[in-house]
């Protein structure tokens, strides 16, 4: 088994209480379904800085703002992609990058 980072970019927050409850329910079910395959995960705030190779610091991230992440165990990158396909981050319009962790 290898470790993979599912990096969520974009998406929107729920607009209503009903949408919030639905999102929490979807995330709870998805995370519970991962069982021992879930290593870690959290959303990000919008508080970000970028540090250039020359040492310059600017406000904001490099590229689009990432909205959160999950670290999962999978047998292969293809399996990690299949896990990502079931992730509720897609329901909010987020894109998901799947990266193998060395």
**pLDDT at 13 (0 to 100):** 85
pLDDT digits (tens, 9 = 90+) for 35-52: 999 999 999 999 999 999
Backbone angles phi, psi at 24, to 5 degrees: -60, -45
Query: Which residue segments constitute the domains of the chain, with CATH numbers given?
Result: 2-101 (3.30.70.1060)
> Two tokens at 44?
């990000």
Whether the CB-CB separation of 83 and 75 falls below 8 Å is answered with no
List per-residue pLDDT tens for the chain, 102 residues long.
Answer: 999 999 999 988 889 999 999 999 999 999 999 999 999 999 999 999 999 999 999 999 999 999 999 999 999 999 999 999 999 999 899 999 999 999
């Amino acid at each position: 088994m290898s470790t993979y980072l599912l990096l969520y970019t974009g998406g929107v927050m729920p607009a209503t209480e009903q949408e919030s409850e639905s999102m929490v329910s979807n995330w709870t079910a998805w995370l519970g379904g991962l069982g021992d395959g879930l290593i870690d995960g959290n959303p990000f705030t919008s508080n970000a800085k970028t540090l250039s190779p020359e040492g310059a610091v600017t406000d904001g991230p490099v590229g689009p703002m990432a909205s959160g992440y999950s670290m999962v165990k999978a047998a292969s990158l293809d399996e990690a992609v299949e896990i990502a396909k079931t992730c509720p981050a897609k329901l909010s319009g987020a894109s998901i990058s799947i990266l193998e962790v060395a």
